Amino acid sequence: MQITDRRQSPNRIIPLPQALPALVERIATVLGLDFSEDRLPRLVAALEQARRDGLTIPTLSLMDKSGTQLSPLLPYLVVGETYFQRDLTPQGAIGQTLLQPLLQQRKQAGDLRLRCWNTACCTGEEAYTLLLCLDVLLGTDLANWQLDLLATDINPNFIAHAKTGRYNEYAFRQSDPAWRAQYFIPDGQRWKLAQAWRDRICFATHNLADPDYRLADGGNYDLILCRNVLMYLTPAAVQHILRQLQSRLTPNGYLLLSAAEAGLANNAGFVGELLGLSYAIRSTDFPGHKLPFSYQTDTHCPPSTSPVKTASRHHLQHHQQRPTPKRLRVEPTHIQDSTSAFERCLQRGKQLADQGQLAEAEASCLQALQLNPLAIAPYWLLALVNDAAGQYPLALQRLKKLSYLEPDFVLAPYLEAQICSRLGQVSQAIRARTRCLQILESMGDRQEIPYGDGLSAAQLRQLCLALEVPDQ
């Protein structure tokens, strides 16, 4: 795939990899997405898929400042991994520790209003989960409340999907069938949310990295969800987004990130507390709140070269400067040769898994293992895929092989403990959890967990200790 560089000559063709640094920077500036250094292979894989689908990559010199010509690439650049009841239930930490007390306070004050914003809502599963969680918590009192629920995402295709309220079985992989039957109606091989519930949420397209936040002007949000998105963004974008979102909270409001993103928030100067599998940041007006140490005045989010902004996005060190990362260097070879066959199979497996195509993802991972039988990553992805598909014995086999290849791969016993707990294999679950904690003892609290999407050893230790293992 090639790009015409019209700044020099309308007939001059340059290989795409030669233009990759400029494309990486443009994507970071406009979308906030980070494809520098170790993340570059994922961008290359996305562009390869776009090429196979017949998409023409726009000439960089012709892109306007708004970046609208990047829009066709969005479906290939953003991750669509989500599902219903993802650490958001009436009985869970968010429901009992955050929502229930907030609703009680409002009721006692006679103010029956609640405003929530689900940013990066993907295809709507999290937004609908929040709404249905509130239905349980409010019960028959729901009709007396004014619930203003906004859900946004950068990808208009995701928003269009969310508005339909129609989902396949994979979206309910962690849900109780009884819960699904209560709110959803069978629709062929899919399930469709009842119309009355779909009308309760306002879905809209919004780019969090953009300085324009008029869509949410007025603020006063009691709860803002921004989970599992910051890990894909540049440090400058993370700081910009957290500043914008926190400023739109009520004095008693919460901004929720995923627990794995606590380090990103800390590096940007924001301090919160773990809440289940989430990380809660309070409003700037909350008593005792301390302002972030390094607010920036810029409104766009380009890749940064300052020590603070280039601090490792996955570590928890606070105020610690790090060396500026090496400049992105891409050799001018054709895109098909820029990643190995093994990497292409693995990236394809990840993309298929994100799309819920589990059988195809498994086949791609197995193909990667044929190319590199001792690789860790395919076995880990296979375990996750088999777990998501409910193939627990097979997932445990993958984890056993993974632990043989890499005895200190700490996520293997952690997932094993979860699976064994679901299967009622109490002694195995306890043994796996103990093994996970033993490995963590040799790691520093702030050490990053391999393949953990930014999770620190301290955070994983807390999650491991919180695992619910059935009584023997």
Instruction: Please give the C-alpha separations between residue 347 and each of 155, 377, 378, 402, 471, in angstroms, as whole numbers.
Output: 21, 10, 10, 19, 40
Per-residue model confidence (pLDDT) at position 423: 86
Q: Is 60 exceeded by the pLDDT of residue 306?
A: no
Quote the pTM value: 0.64
Residue 310 resides in a domain: no
Q: Are 252 and 119 found together in one domain?
A: yes
Q: Are 251 and 358 found together in one domain?
A: no
Q: For 182-232, what is each residue's pLDDT tens digit? A: 999 999 989 999 988 988 999 999 999 999 999 987 779 999 999 989 988
Distance CA 34, CA 295 (A): 20
CATH number of the domain enclosing 455: 1.25.40.10
Question: What domain range includes position 193?
Answer: 93-282
Residue 4 resides in a domain: no
Q: Are 400 and 455 found together in one domain?
A: yes
CATH number of the domain enclosing 172: 3.40.50.150
Q: Is 50 exceeded by the pLDDT of residue 299?
A: no
Residue 34 resides in a domain: yes
Tell me how many domains the chain contains: 3
CB-based contact 268:309 (threshold 8 Å) = no
Q: For 392-448, what is each residue's pLDDT tens digit? A: 889 999 999 898 888 899 999 999 998 998 888 888 999 999 999 999 998 988 888
Percent of the chain with pLDDT over 70: 81
Q: Edge-to-edge, what's the strand order for the sheet holding 201-205?
A: 201-205, 146-153, 113-118, 221-225, 249-258, 278-282, 273-275
Q: Are 277 and 408 found together in one domain?
A: no
Contacts of 292 (CB under 8 A, 6+ apart): 239, 242, 243, 268, 269, 270
Q: Are 373 and 434 found together in one domain?
A: yes
Q: Are 218 and 262 found together in one domain?
A: yes
Q: Are 56 and 103 found together in one domain?
A: no
Q: Are 118 and 241 found together in one domain?
A: yes
Q: Are 232 and 157 found together in one domain?
A: yes
